[in-house]
Each structure stands twice: as C-alpha cells, then as structure tokens.
Amino acid sequence: MSYRDSYEKWLASPALSQAEKDELRAISGDEKEIESRFFGPLEFGTAGLRGTMCVGLHQMNIHVIRHATQAFAEVILAEGPEAARRGVAICYDCRNHSDEFARETACVMAGNGISVRLFDALRPTPEVSFAVREYGCIAGVNVTASHNPKEYNGYKVYWQDGAQLPPHHASAIAQKMEELDLFTSVKRMDYDEAVSKGMITLMGKETDEKFLANVMEQVNDKAAVEQVADTFKMVYTPFHGTGYKLIPEALRRLGMKHVICVPEQMVIDGNFPTVASPNPENPEGFYLAVELAKKEGADFILGSDPDADRVGIMVRTGDGEFKVLSGNQTGVLLLDYLIGAKKRTGKLPEKPVALKTIVTTEMARKVAEDNGLTCYDTFTGFKFLAEKKDKLEGSGQGNVIFSYEESYGYMLGSYVRDKDAVTAALALTEMAAWYAGQGMTLYDALLACYEKYGYYSEKTLNLVMPGLDGLKKMAALMSGLRQNPPREIAGVPVAQWKDYQDGSIVEADGSRGAMELSGSNVLRYEVSDGTSLIVRPSGTEPKVKVYILANGQSRQEAEEKVSKYAAWAESLKN
C-alpha cells in the first residue's frame, strides 16, 4: 500500500475522531508531510516503539498504540491460558498523552482476556520492571520516551524476567503487526467495565513501599551518611518527571537531612518548560540546580531523567564551579566505591562480578580486575546486561554487584532488570556523603581514581542522519566499513577489527578468530596505540554513534587521542 493509500485509509476510518480527521485534512496539500507520516509503520524493535506524537502510521497515537498492543496480546496468548492469567504490568511517565496511551494499552489487553496491573499515576521506569517480577506477570509495558524532546513518546515492552523484550519476542510482535489490520483487528474493553470486572487492577502506594524496601537494602554504609548528615548538602532535580517523589523519599530514608529540590523542576510537566532537553547528559539543563547549589553551599547535584531510569551528577571542583561527570566517570567512581564499601562492611559476595557494555570505558575493567572482580562485556542495552546477570548467577559463575552503560544507566540489586535512577541516586548519594566524611568532593575522588588506575578519556559522536534518506545513509555507512575496513585511522595502524554482526575478529595480518558476542550491527577497531573505536547505528534515533575509548600516561595524552580520532569519526558522515 502506498503512503497515499494509507493516508486515504486513515481519513476514511470510523476509528478516527473528527479532530484527528481535521488534522489529516490540514496536511492534504503537503505531499512531503503526508509521506513522512505514512511511508511506513513505526518499526517495532527490541526497544518497542518510539516516535513523535501526531496522527499517522509512522507516529505515536492511540491507533498505533492499540495496534501494537493487540499484536503483543496475541503473542502473550500464544503462551497459553496461564500467561493471560498472570497478566501484564503497565506504567507511564510524565509525557503528554502518556496516561491516555497507558489506559488504552490496558483496555486492549483486557479486551483480549489478559489481566492488567496498571499504576494509578505516573511512576519511575524501574518500578514497572519491579512490578513484573514482584507480581509474577508474564510481561510489562511502559509508556515513555525517556529523555527525548517533548514531541516524542514511546512504548517500551518487558518480558516475565522484568527485562526489556528479547529479540525473538520483539520479532513475533512485529510479525503480528504486519498481519493484523491496524483498525479492525483491535479487541478493546471499556475501561470502567474492565475495572469493575477485575480485569484491570490499580497499583499504588503498596507497590511503592515494596519497591522502596528493596531499594533501601542496597545501602552499604548508612553510618557514613549519618556522620555528615548535619552539614552535607545536595541539590536534586527530576527535570519535571517521575523521580520527584520516590528519589527524595529514598534519600530521606538513607538519612539525608539536606536534600534541596529545584522547585521549578519538581512540577510535573510533559512540556519540560525549563529545559531545551530533559536529558541529564546535557549540562545546560542543570543551570537552575547549579544556581541553587551555589546559593545553598552544596557540593553535589543529582538529576534524573523524566522516566527516572537514568541519572546524571554534577560536582563542585576546586575553583568552586560545578562540573558534569560523564556516565563513564560516574560508573567508574561508583564501581570503585561499591567495592570498597562492600569490603568494609562485609557485604562483598563470593565471585563478585561487574558488568558493562562494549561501548563503556575500559577503565571499569581496570577497576574491577585490580580489585579482584571479573568484568564482562555485553551489547548495548540493559536487556543484555540483565540476561548476562541471570546467566552468571543462575549457573553459579558469579554474583553481579553492579551493571552499567556509559549513557547514564546503572543497575544494582536483583529486584529490577533495567536501569534504575532511584537506586542509583541512593548509591551515588551514599558515595558522595562518604567522601565528604573524608574531606573530599566527588571531583577529588575522580582525580584520585585516575592516579590509582590510569588516565582514560572517552567521547561519543552522534552522526545525525534525519529524514527518509537517513536510514539508507546509515546502512550505506555500515556496509562500506564492512566491505572496506580501514587499515589505519588518523594515521595510526588498525591492529584488529571486530564485527559483532557475525562475531568475527580480523587481525592486521589477516588471521581470523571468533568472539562470544554476535548478532548486533556493531563494528569495533582496536588501534595500535591502545584506543578503541566503535561504530553502531542507534536503535531509537536517526543517527550513527561513534564511541572513542582512549587511555594514556597522562590526562593530556588520553584527551589528545580522543581529539585526533574525533576528526576521523566526523568524516564518516560525508
């Protein structure tokens, strides 16, 4: 069906409201806009769906939500009647239409005879992962677009382990979506009827308390917080999102007396009025927090993204200013702290393990191995970190104390299988308080880590390729690198290249080997000066990411390597 045919089908469908049809008629003379909305469906991948909110086949709206949910329901029903009885947990964030999309998801699940546990209001992402595990659900759905701009929303799907959907189930849903008519296939029960019949059960404070009880078990050294509680101050911002309630509460239970929240950003608002982007990776979003920290004399700033699965921090430096720590730096600091704290308090398990993704700093491996831990790599995404954790612990090979990726995601404990800003906020605050008791800021602690473990520097470049041609450009770039792998980069010989698609390793002399990881569209080059360069298309946005992981005898040497290879990375876009 052509994009024009799809457009006309939507216009003629009785499923659309008058307002939705008016929106479509308003673009009737804009062929490019019609094509962009109807050239094809939103692709359902292992991250679910994500797109801008408006009427159209390639957009996020209630019709696409219902269609995806119908497909997901049929995949669940194929598991048998017990799966329908176990049901799904559904959560949503602060974004515009998130509550509406979550309710529609619940109504379609109920219409297919699948019981639903729906949160009574917005909640952090990790709490849906927790609810799936806690209540024995077969699956979960979270309506969120994480840190994307306000125009976006998404549909994130979990399986019974509480981790994001495994690839074979995502493929099954995508296949069902191709088979099912977007409008006529949907089975839906009225919301009030579903509640009255017990098909939809609301979750509230009782689930929060169960979740928080698990979070608080991750405290390693409460005495360290109590020692400085009267004087140690921190600033917190939820960036208008779901962390506004549980994170301050967890910190209060930790023993923090001075958690100063940014008042303007404690207001729940899907338009994110105080920031250009509600992303804790972007330093400019912290301007209100920095002003407040300087005014109140705080040394530590913490911010969670709108769905509270990722967390970023800023720390006071020697000159009194505040510096953003990268996800790589934050993770290294926290790993080093957790090892020390668990050793001090007798909580380090036998066969301790740290997990990271292939694009995360190699400094984490250095920290782990120097302290007697084993460190494993996985593909990017917490479903892979969760899968590795379950495999290692299920087989008795190791006990994972910490999992993280460079994009500000951290997972602790065994009650969630996704990144978790609530627990990470607790652990990071405990760490900051402990260092304060040693007369150090986290910036001081980071410099000490570099002195101890060596100097590392990393950079991620985003080669944005928007529009209808973007996917073709991304595919052509990856294909070109596979067909003609670079023998040198920035004048430095490539010692080895790895293709994670087929798991192959090729040495500079042409000899070949194989690695454990395979099945992902990622290329990695090990350059002879010890730098790693990784190239992969984003799974959620129209861009190719290039990661530069460097190290050196000094900070300057490591940073110079990053600058040199960044120029090569930028050239890939041309």
Q: pLDDT tens for the chain, 574 residues: list them.
A: 899 999 999 999 999 999 999 999 999 999 999 999 999 999 898 789 999 999 999 999 999 999 999 999 999 999 999 999 999 999 999 999 999 999 999 999 999 999 999 999 999 999 999 999 999 999 999 999 998 899 999 999 999 999 999 888 999 999 999 999 999 999 999 999 999 999 999 999 999 999 999 999 999 999 999 999 999 999 999 999 999 999 999 999 999 999 999 999 999 999 999 999 899 999 999 999 999 999 999 999 999 999 999 999 999 998 889 999 999 999 999 999 999 999 999 999 999 999 999 999 999 999 999 999 999 999 999 999 999 999 999 999 999 999 999 999 999 999 999 999 999 999 999 999 999 999 999 999 999 999 999 999 999 999 998 877 888 899 999 999 999 999 999 999 999 999 999 999 999 999 999 999 999 999 999 999 999 999 999 876 789 999 999 999 999 999 999 999 999 999 998 7
Active site residue 146: yes
Select which of 6, 98, 115, 146 is catalytic: 146
The span from the CA of 440 to the CA of 211, in Å, is 32
Q: pLDDT value at position 467?
A: 75
The span from the CA of 574 to the CA of 184, in Å, is 45
Amino acid at position 544, single letter: V
CA of 425: how far to CAs of 238, 247, 259, 308, 457, in Å?
Answer: 11, 7, 12, 10, 24
229 three-state secondary structure: coil
Could you tell me the two tokens for 316? 């006071």
The span from the CA of 254 to the CA of 221, in Å, is 10
Q: Which residues lie closer than 8 Å to 313 by C-beta, 6 or more apart?
A: 300, 301, 302, 303, 324, 325, 330, 428, 442
What does the chain come to in residues?
A: 574
Longest dimension (CA), the chain: 70
2 three-state secondary structure: coil
DSSP summary character for residue 299: S
CA of 488: how far to CAs of 357, 493, 508, 527, 565, in Å?
Answer: 25, 4, 10, 8, 11
The span from the CA of 542 to the CA of 529, in Å, is 31
Q: pLDDT value at position 420?
A: 98
How many Cβ atoms are within 10 Å of 169's Cβ, its own excluded?
A: 18
The span from the CA of 369 to the CA of 227, in Å, is 31
Residue owning tokens 């990393």? 458
Q: Which residues lie closer than 8 Å to 264 by C-beta, 6 or more apart?
A: 274, 288
88-92/116-119 β-pairing: parallel
Q: How many helices (H) and strands (E) does the chain have?
A: 20, 23
234-237/300-304 β-pairing: parallel
DSSP per-residue codes, 347-392: -PPSSEEEEEETTS-THHHHHHHHTT-EEEEE-SSHHHHHHHHHHH
Element (H, E) at 53: none
Sheet holding 374-378, edge to edge: 374-378, 352-357, 399-405, 409-411
How many Cβ atoms are within 10 Å of 150's Cβ, its own excluded?
A: 21
**Burial class for 401, CB neighbours closer than 10 Å (0-12, 13-18, 19+):** buried
The span from the CA of 94 to the CA of 100, in Å, is 11
Element (H, E) at 489: strand 488-489
* Residue 151 backbone dihedrals phi, psi, to 5 degrees: -70, -15
Cβ distance 527 to 548 under 8 Å?
no
Q: Which residues lie closer than 8 Å to 162 by C-beta, 6 or more apart?
A: 129, 130, 132, 133, 140, 386, 416, 417, 418
- 546 beta partners: 461, 535
What is the pTM (predicted TM-score) of this model? 0.95
The dihedral formed by the CA atoms of 496, 458, 332 and 446, expressed in degrees to the nearest 10: 140
Closest CA to 279 of 246, 307, 254: 307
Q: Which residues lie closer than 8 Å to 160 by C-beta, 6 or more apart?
A: 86, 132, 136, 137, 138, 139
How far does CA 449 lie from the centroid of its chain?
A: 26
CA of 86: how far to CAs of 76, 116, 138, 172, in Å?
Answer: 10, 9, 6, 20
Give the sign of the dihedral formed by CA 108, CA 109, CA 113, CA 119: negative
The span from the CA of 312 to the CA of 46, in Å, is 25
Cβ distance 417 to 163 under 8 Å?
yes
Cβ distance 59 to 80 under 8 Å?
no
Element (H, E) at 187: none
Q: pLDDT value at position 45?
A: 81
The span from the CA of 162 to the CA of 132, in Å, is 5
Element (H, E) at 263: none
